[in-house]
Amino acid sequence: MNYFPAMKLRVAIIILIAGGWLVPAQTNESSLDVGDMLDAAQQFAQDNLDPDVLKALQDVDRDKVGDFLKNYQACLQGDYVLDVAQLKDGANAILPLLDAHEETQPYAAWLRARLDYFDAAEELKAITPPAPPGTNQPPPAANPPFAVEQEIWIKKVSPRPWPEAAKKFVPELKTIFAAEGVPVELVWLAEVESGFDARARSPAGAVGMFQLMPATAKNLGLSLFPFDQRKQPEPAAHAAAKYLRHLHEQFGGWRLAVAAYNSGEGTVQRLLKRYDATSYERIATHLPAETQMYVPKVEATIRHREGAALEKLKAA
């Protein structure tokens, strides 16, 4: 049985109730089943926590809980990297709640793989000049330059040991990527996306080690029913490698391909056209906040794990 202090859950509940004010909720449909999440958390509370905490959990507005988790995704998809820093305390408080029951652990796996985004945004905020007087927030052009984010991520990633799951999966994943004609070093996207946790599920519906969305998975030949192949490392790796190869052929560079893997082909295409650009560096500060951190995080991870530069990777 998994236990955590009642006070921690009280803090999480307070944040859940107040969560709606962070940023506007996404308008896109989400596969997050808020009712199931709250039912699971409530059952855990009933079994393990005192009556006051259980009552607080019963009083939580389920719509606000849904908005809260959607807000996490929305903020990561927003325009401004420093906004992500505001999610740090809430993320650390809600993670034990999501981890408390098997039904909600996939969301915990997704969130856990992104905790360092909140730390990185906080570090970037500390070294970024404040907004001009009379403005609510700096414009997107004030996002930290790519080179600054690179430095942050190299420092954050370089001390990290191999994830325990990587020892099991990386050799097999490299064989699959090689068979698909993709640089084997790119298997480390699975660390950034999910920490090599095949259960991971985002509030938007991405699933598995490589966080494939349903439509993308179907287009790549994966089945979602009766068994979701996104949760199976081998089929998911084949699909992710094929998608990366397609993106590299389309955009001509691995930074742009990785950016498109995270934010979507359409996002990268529109920005390249809008800014008459051909390089990642030219559009970096205009990408969604998560992508602005995702690309240098992937690059730093591959450099740390393989001693290789992302842009110089060669197909197997």
Question: What residues act catalytically?
Answer: 193
Cβ atoms of residues 132 and 125 within 8 Å: no
Q: Name the E strands within 87-148.
A: none
Short-list 315, 166, 173, CA closest to 235: 173
Question: Within a 10 A sphere around the Cβ of 234, how many other Cβ atoms?
Answer: 13
Question: Within a 10 A sphere around the Cβ of 115, how many other Cβ atoms?
Answer: 14
Residue 181 vs residues 185, 261, 265: alpha-carbon distances, Å? 12, 17, 20
Cis bond before residue 226 (omega within 30° of 0): yes
Residue 218 vs residues 29, 30, 53, 230, 263: alpha-carbon distances, Å? 18, 18, 42, 10, 18
CA pair distance 25, 313, nearest whole angstrom: 38
CA pair distance 112, 56, nearest whole angstrom: 25
**C-alpha radius of gyration, the chain, whole number:** 20
List Cβ<8 Å contacts ≥24 apart for 2-11.
2/44, 2/99, 2/100, 3/48, 4/96, 4/100, 6/49, 6/50, 6/53, 8/93, 8/96, 9/45, 9/49, 9/53, 9/56, 9/57, 9/96, 9/97, 10/53, 10/56, 11/93
